[in-house]
Amino acid sequence: MSTNEWKWWGGVDEEVCTYGPFDTKEDVIAEAAADGTGEFQDENGNWKIGVHVVEARKDPLRLADWIGDADELMERAEESVSDSDRASSEHDEPPYFECSKDQEADLERRIKAACDEWQAEHKLTFTTFTFSASRNHEYVVVDHPGLEQ
Residue 1 binned pLDDT confidence (cut-offs 50, 70, 90): very low
Percent of the chain at pLDDT exceeding 90: 71
- Whether the predicted pLDDT of 148 surpasses 90: no
AA identity, residue 45: G
CA 41, CA 79: separation in Å to the nearest integer?
A: 60
- Per-domain residue ranges for the chain? 7-60+127-143, 63-122
DSSP assignments along 82-97, one per residue: HHSTTS-TTT--S-SS
Overall average pLDDT of the 26-46 stretch: 91
- Whether the predicted pLDDT of 2 surpasses 70: no
CA 119, CA 62: separation in Å to the nearest integer?
A: 8
pLDDT digits (tens, 9 = 90+) for 64-121: 999 989 999 999 999 999 888 888 777 877 788 999 999 999 999 999 999 999 999 9
Overall average pLDDT of the 14-35 stretch: 93
Q: Are strands 39-41 and 19-22 parallel, antiparallel or unpaired?
A: unpaired
Q: Are 49 and 33 in contact (CB under 8 A)?
A: yes
CA 97, CA 113: separation in Å to the nearest integer?
A: 21
